[in-house]
A and B are shown apart, each in its own frame.
Chain A
Amino acid sequence: MEDSPSHLSLVLDLSPTQWHLCSTGENPLPLNAFLAHLLTFLNTHIASKHENSLAVFAALPGKSEMLYSSTDPTPPEVTDTADSNTYQPFKALDSAVVNGISRYMDAVDRNAPEAPCALVGALTKALCYINRLNHVPIDNANLAPTIPKAPDPRILIISVSPDLSSSYISLMNSIFSAQKLKVTIDVCKLFGPDTVFLQQAAHLTGGSYLNLEHKEALLQYLIMTFLPPPKLRRYLATPTQDKVDFRAACFCHKRIVDIGYVCSVCLSIFCSPLPVCSTCRTKFPIKTLQRLNSSRPPPTNGVGKPKNGVPTSR
């Protein structure tokens, strides 16, 4: 059981702006140096067990793309020449990823404003792909070479962009479906401040979240933290995170609230009682407002009073 194969889906955040920033500031890590680290890591993954499978997804501005998948026959690259010094699967993987990335980077319109990175799209694709591996269709069960059922699947997100608040709901939805599929989501934050959303993703699915301190040691981080499949991590001391913030921010002032007021229709959160929901335009009964307002600021007044008819008889 400890020696079972595992599937890795890599989601690569390829926002050109962020990568530019990442390659300039102090302690820089340019994209090509990063790719050298990454490809070594990916090669290690497919080399560590014959049945291990791998898929690489790129989150690009405004779209997402699958760069490589070990189950699909890779389209023959014209530039490839057989190299007797390289293990062929490594070669296929490296060229697919590098060519894919350079193709998209060349196509970037330098003058147009950059669309937000489709991280959720790439993540959803990764989930659909894992779902597909889980459901090997009946009809080609005997025809196709036995496609391995994605065993012990996990997703590694390498992120450089900050949180995108507009994609909060869709990102949460993907996290919940990952939970349902028992997919572990690992997050490696290469550049920029911590992203709360991805911290939650890692926490909810039981993965690791890592914000790199020493970018030049990326490969070591990758191998020590993200190479062992989730089943093995019980025996290892992988980084855990204690301070995940699960408090919510109110919709009106984006303030973090302890006690919030929630619209029963659309679940919008407000920091103070409002007569009308600003999201769905629902009017709330006056009586509720009065009751909530009267019990509001000094919390000592409110304790013991039944709120919202919530039963206190226990």
Chain B
Amino acid sequence: MSGRHDKNYMDVDSDSGGSYIADDPDFNEGGARGTKGKGKKAVRRKETFKGKSKEQPYAWEASYTRSWDTVQEDDTGSLQNSVQDLLTQGRRRRLLAPAAAIRRTIIRHLVILLDLSSSMMDRDMRPTRFDLMLEYTREFVVEWFDQNPLGQIGVVGMRGGVGERIGEMVGNPQDVLRCLESRTKLEPTGEPSLQNAIEMARASMSHLPTHSSREILIMYGSLTTVDPGNIHDTLDACVRDKIRVSVVALAAEMKICREFCDKTGGSFGVALNEGHFKDILFELVPPPAQRAAAAAGPGKGSTADLMMMGFPTRLPDSSPRTLCVCHSEMKSEGFICPRCMAKLCDIPTDCDICGLMIVSSPHLARSYHHLFPVKAYTAVMELTPEERNTRLKMCYACSSPFKELQKTTITAPGLSPLDRYRCPNCKNDYCADCDLFVHDVVHVCPGCG
């Protein structure tokens, strides 16, 4: 370590990489890479730059300090078990969050702000920041609509000092993906303007009803912003409009971005590498908890509302071909709005004719798992001799055999040395893979059924 602390090394690295600050709390708590006190050492950028003392390493170095010490060979000299444990631990991290009852916003409205400035052509993330951002955004949109079928997404780009509307606010993933499709249309140029883009996003959400959430997600690769006015006014306006701003920075932490997130209740993260970029982006997929103040206030601040929704009749493929109202195309299949009898191609959507929200019952059902989550499984630390005889020797869900007690190299809360995770309800044991699968994908406990 100390050998790398010479002046040259610093200078070479500080121009581009000096920005990686690992003070994203999530990242520090996650114990995928040895957790020894690096959280405290992660210091603000300014201090790091000034005080190049030997005791205070750069934050990005600190976060990797002892990662190799935690990996230990097992008896046969193989690293595989250790590596596997690390992987499991990293994946389980998300599950450890407290599963208290919280009210979540089911009807979401999100505007994605894409940085399309020239700094996005940087190659520090492969192939370029821009390409990576586009790729992940597409995946994000798919996943987001999967989990929030009643939500809507709009896309705004930041380039050449202005905000540019790339996609209108729509509830259909295909429409959003279509506007992210063309790489050449989104070619990055010029400087980004945070204020212009945020104002544009804010304006497009001003008409939304109170029971829906208003969110802005900014993917920001630049370290500067060119604004026509005082950006703090925009910040105040966002707070007033209850818009939640979240930022995923690709370069470094900017104070104004951090402030936006802190004051509006969003989350802020600096992507350390490609994988981490995806992680912090996808953490924004599940619906956020509704703000406590809004949920508690029974009077004026109440956000609950009764919504009128239409359940359409589906036309079978064999029905006669007619024109649809959304694309004016001749089609036989489609859905009929129950109020105005217009024919629509895709649901969920708002009826183009009468504005009624058109959904089908599976769409509503898709959101139910946020409301009735599976209880977190508890890690089984050891089995009593009696249990050892009576318990199933294999995972209750997938029937893969459990490992016998073995020395794991890492002990962390929530990680079972036996690879057994027990449902508090049905008292069955599951393997780590099934635990993840049940909580992330299925949302049904196989034992409780």
Interface residues in chain A, defined as those with a beta carbon under 8 Å from any beta carbon in chain B = 64, 66, 69, 72, 118-121, 124-125, 127-129, 131-132, 135, 137-139, 167-170, 172-177, 180-181, 200, 204, 242-244, 246-248, 257-267, 269-270, 273-274, 277, 282-285, 288-289, 292, 299, 302-304, 306-312, 314
A247 touches B442 (CB 8 A): no
Binds A, one of B194-202, B269-277, B361-369, B379-387: B361-369
30 inter-chain pairs at a CB distance below 8 angstroms, sorted by A residue, are: A66-B399, A72-B399, A124-B397, A128-B434, A128-B437, A128-B438, A128-B446, A137-B84, A138-B80, A138-B84, A170-B444, A172-B366, A181-B441, A244-B314, A248-B364, A259-B310, A261-B307, A262-B307, A263-B304, A264-B107, A265-B304, A266-B371, A267-B368, A283-B298, A284-B306, A288-B306, A303-B339, A310-B209, A311-B355, A314-B352
Inter-chain contacts of A242 with B (CB < 8 A): 316-318
Inter-chain contacts of B361 with A (CB < 8 A): 246-248
B409 at the interface (CB under 8 A from A): no
Inter-chain contacts of A177 with B (CB < 8 A): 441-443
Contact of B308 (CB < 8 Å), options: A128, A175, A282, A308: A308
Nearest CB on B from A173, distance (A): 4
B225 at the interface (CB under 8 A from A): no
B134 at the interface (CB under 8 A from A): no
B397 touches A139 (CB 8 A): no
B354 at the interface (CB under 8 A from A): yes
B338 touches A258 (CB 8 A): yes
In Å, the complex CA distance between A312 and B371 comes to 30
In Å, the complex CA distance between A4 and B396 comes to 30
Known A-B contacts: A128-B446, A258-B310. Give 17 more (CB < 8 A). A118-B449, A124-B442, A128-B438, A129-B397, A129-B399, A131-B434, A173-B368, A176-B366, A180-B146, A246-B361, A246-B362, A264-B306, A283-B304, A285-B305, A288-B305, A308-B307, A308-B357
In Å, the complex CA distance between A312 and B354 comes to 7
B329 at the interface (CB under 8 A from A): no
B36 at the interface (CB under 8 A from A): no
Inter-chain contacts of A176 with B (CB < 8 A): 362, 365-366
Q: A132-B400, A138-B80 are in contact. Are A257 and B311 (CB under 8 A)?
A: yes
A131 touches B309 (CB 8 A): no
B398 touches A174 (CB 8 A): no
Nearest CB on A from B253, distance (A): 34
Contact of A282 (CB < 8 Å), options: B208, B304, B399: B304
B356 at the interface (CB under 8 A from A): yes
Contact with A along B178-211 (1 / 0, CB 8 A): 0000000000000000000000000000011101
B103 at the interface (CB under 8 A from A): yes
Inter-chain contacts of B84 with A (CB < 8 A): 137-139
In Å, the complex CA distance between A132 and B399 comes to 9
A128 touches B397 (CB 8 A): yes
| Closest residue of B by beta carbon distance from A282 | B304
In Å, the complex CA distance between A265 and B364 comes to 12
Q: A66-B399, A246-B314, A309-B208 are in contact. Are A121 and B449 (CB under 8 A)?
A: yes
Nearest CB on B from A77, distance (A): 17
A131 touches B437 (CB 8 A): yes
Contact of A125 (CB < 8 Å), options: B302, B312, B340, B397: B397
Q: A302-B339, A309-B209 are in contact. Are A135 and B433 (CB under 8 A)?
A: yes
B446 touches A124 (CB 8 A): yes
In Å, the complex CA distance between A72 and B401 comes to 10
| Closest residue of A by beta carbon distance from B445 | A124
Inter-chain contacts of B309 with A (CB < 8 A): 259-262, 269
In Å, the complex CA distance between A160 and B308 comes to 37
In Å, the complex CA distance between A309 and B360 comes to 20
| Closest residue of A by beta carbon distance from B443 | A173
Inter-chain contacts of B212 with A (CB < 8 A): 264
Inter-chain contacts of A129 with B (CB < 8 A): 397-399
A310 touches B444 (CB 8 A): no
A131 touches B433 (CB 8 A): yes
Inter-chain contacts of A128 with B (CB < 8 A): 395, 397-398, 434, 437-438, 442, 446
In Å, the complex CA distance between A269 and B369 comes to 16
In Å, the complex CA distance between A299 and B81 comes to 66
| Closest residue of B by beta carbon distance from A258 | B338
A174 touches B442 (CB 8 A): yes
Contacting A at CB under 8 A, from B297-352, are 298, 302-314, 316-318, 338-340, 350, 352
B228 at the interface (CB under 8 A from A): no
Nearest CB on A from B328, distance (A): 14
| Closest residue of B by beta carbon distance from A55 | B399
A310 touches B433 (CB 8 A): no
B354 touches A303 (CB 8 A): yes
B51 at the interface (CB under 8 A from A): no
In Å, the complex CA distance between A314 and B146 comes to 25
Inter-chain contacts of B398 with A (CB < 8 A): 125, 128-129, 131-132
Nearest CB on B from A303, distance (A): 5
